[in-house]
Amino acid sequence: MSMLNRLRNWLDWEGSAYAFISPYAVLFLIFIVIPVAAAILLSFTYFDTIQFPHFIGLRNYITLVTQDDVFMKYVLPNTIEFAVIVGPGGYALAFLLAWMLAQLPRLPRTVLALILYSPSMTSSVTMAVVWQTLFSGDQNGYLNSFLLNMGIIQEPVQWLQSPQFLMPIMIVVTLWSSMGVGFLAMLAGILDINPELYEAAAMDGMSSRWQEIFYVTIPSMKPQMLFGAVMAIVGTFQAGAIGVALSGANPTPQYAGQLIVNHVEDYGFLRYEMGYAAAVSVVLLLMVLFFTRLANRLFRTEEG
Amino acid sequence: MEFSEEHAGERIIRSLRGRAEGRAGRPRPFVPSSRPLQTVQVAPAKRRGLRRFYSLRSSGINPPGFHPSQIPFYLILLPVVAFMLLPIIFIFSTAFKPFEELFVYPPRFFVVNPTLKNFRDLLTLMSASDVPVSRYLFNSIAVTLISVAASIFVSSMAAYALSKKRFGLKQTLFAVNTVALMFVPIAVTIPRFLIIARMGLIDSFMVHILPMLAMPVGVFLLKQFMDTVPNELIEAAQMDGASDLQIYWRIILPMVRPAIATIAILTFQATWNNADTSAIYINLESLKTFAFYLSTLAATTSGANVVAGQGMAAAAALILFLPNLIIFLILQSQVMSTMSHSGLKG
């Protein structure tokens, strides 16, 4: 009897909470937790999708570091170059743009913010069709024709097929569409700062805008800065498919635009070496984790 | 000398906060001042003078109107904005170009004689396997509508429990969700594929929808917003005998409308633009979506018939882009008010 009562009590207090959260929790488990766990487990196995995976210890990771020339020579440096420019670069750009927008009155600010945000509404991979037209390799391509007219180049350039230009174009395209949720969060954060803080700072003799940014603006909106940073990191690594989409080939020409995400797909879906692909994706997840920890340290709030 | 910039910044902020509060004396619920340093008393006359000086120097954050000091910001922002706008103008312009203008040499950026022919061609076109484009469009619309509706309920219910209920795993679950903000779905494409295959969801309608509902950002933003709903309101409703469901439906949902609008937009963008699901989990052509169709256009236009396909591809890109834009335009002020609560405590 008392058992039943306690059960009923529990149901009254906690049961409804679990009822509310369970649909999300189940989906979260199936599509996020289990895939991550499976990736970690699979990374210690050999798995060709036909036979049951068998355990091979750390061999995938050892191969990755010692024998995978493509990974060490192209994929890793490319990923780091791409991530460093698009990640912190895009993030700083988003903050500066948000800060400048905050200095404008409401109407122009809203219009300009909307224009800056709108590219992030497009999906960069599906947008590849537009970029392919702009960067088309013959003299009919818009960029080629423009540069030929200006006399900057003498011959049409194969923008998307040349190893030299693919990476810079990938970076520009990704930056173009990176003013997303994080950018809006930072804009909202800057606008929410109590204006009296600035007045008080001015009384203290703080005169330059840069001082204001570093001593008032950023410290007052650390939580938004951190949210923006996490969104920037995720967006950066999520954007990895862009090189393949632009050049239309995996691997990209001479591996010039090959990022870690493409390497995973190359091994997973083209060569069916699932265990090895899983090891590469674990490395990717660790990179995301590392950068997020870094952002956490930078923007830690005291109470939190 | 031990002087780290960050700490200096924090110290200054704390002291400033103390002062601002001391002077204004109005309650500020969101910035608890931990220890106000010495409060400087400023004579009212001097304060007014300072304020006038300040508004002369610049109008500062969120100014009421135009001020000459804003000109440099316009000078920097306008070229950036123009650059960002360029590809979008290009889509518009190309989508309405008639056939002859696509072939013009040298290529012209702007359209001269706009026509709807590209859209008509696109909608009457059949893909290689006899699936009309309208079918892709229908799939996209159905999938997106269901995902948005389902996502609002799934996320807001979870957020309600995390924000307003007391239960054992509450802190843990919220912490797990916060860590999952940095989840990169593309990294686990392969195990996801294996799990979805094992569940028998390959080539099913649900595979478009279910993964979209596990959206940590959505639950996070909703939970943060719900934290601002006063608990007294819920307690009062409980005293009146309202059930949990009634509280959720009648009090919570109406009060967090801005956050719901934001979740709707985020889910909409994620689903409507999603080409990966169709590419990876769907083999049946009749179950694929419009975003996927557009990405195949990209692949084919790089072949022999480059120029002729450009107009239709741009028309398709425009069809994909416009709903995003319109929905955001309608809901943008709600999104901004949600973003004020997006702060992440490290």
* Type of residue at B212: M
Instruction: Tell me the count of A-B CB pairs closer than 8 A.
Output: 371
- DSSP 8-state code for residue B315: H
Per the structure, the count of domains in chain A is: 1
Q: Which residues contact A288 (CB under 8 A, 6 or more apart)?
A: A233, A234, A237, B182, B184, B187
Residue A42 located in a structural domain: no
Give the pLDDT score at B57: 46
Instruction: Give me the domain span that covers residue A105.
Output: 68-298
Residue A273 located in a structural domain: yes
Q: Are the beta carbons of B272 and B291 closer than 8 angstroms? A: yes
Residue A1 CA: distances (Å) to CA of A10, A13, A129:
14, 18, 68
CA distance A81 to chain B (A): 18
For chain B, the residue count is 346
Give the pLDDT score at B23: 42
pLDDT digits (tens, 9 = 90+) for B160-192: 999 998 888 889 999 999 889 888 888 888 889
Q: Tell me whether residues B301 and A132 touch, CB distance under 8 A.
A: yes
Q: Are the beta carbons of A246 and A257 closer than 8 angstroms? A: yes
Tell me, rounded to whole angstroms, the distance of Cα B30 from its chain centroid.
Answer: 24
Give the pLDDT score at B30: 39
* Type of residue at B136: Y
Residue A30 located in a structural domain: no
Residue A223 located in a structural domain: yes
- Please give the Cα distance from A197 to A194 (Å, whole number): 6
Give the residue from B217, B327, B224 showing the smallest Cα distance to B263: B217
What domains, with CATH codes, occur in chain B? 5-64 (no CATH), 70-119 (no CATH), 123-339 (1.10.3720.10)
B:68-107 residues touching chain A, CB 8 A cutoff: 70, 73-74, 76-77, 80-81, 83-85, 87-88, 90-91, 94, 105-107
Residue A191 located in a structural domain: yes
Residue A264 located in a structural domain: yes
What ipTM, to 2 d.p.? Answer: 0.85
Q: What percent of chain A has pLDDT over 70?
A: 97
Residue A11 located in a structural domain: no
pLDDT digits (tens, 9 = 90+) for A38-74: 999 999 999 887 888 889 988 999 998 888 888 888 9
CATH number (domain holding residue A208): 1.10.3720.10
Give the residue from A207, A211, A197, A214 showing the smallest Cα distance to B18: A197
Nearest CB partner across the interface for B275, out of A125, A141, A288: A125
Q: Which residues contact B234 (CB under 8 A, 6 or more apart)?
A: B164, B247, B251, B252
Q: Is the pLDDT of residue B11 over 70?
A: no
Q: Give the phi and the psi of residue B132 in degrees, each rounded to 5.
A: -70, 150
- Please give the Cα distance from A244 to B9 (Å, whole number): 44
* Letter string b/e over residues A33-60, b meaning 16 or more CB atoms within 10 A of that residue's CB: ebbbebbbbbbbbbbeeeeebeebeeeb
Give the pLDDT score at A32: 93
Residues of A in contact with B191 (CB under 8 A): 34-36, 38-39, 42, 278
Residues of B in contact with A227 (CB under 8 A): 342-344
Residue A81 CA: distances (Å) to CA of A85, A106, A244, A261, B256:
6, 37, 17, 14, 41
Give the pLDDT score at A202: 82
Entry pTM: 0.82
Give the pLDDT score at B254: 92
Residue A149 located in a structural domain: yes
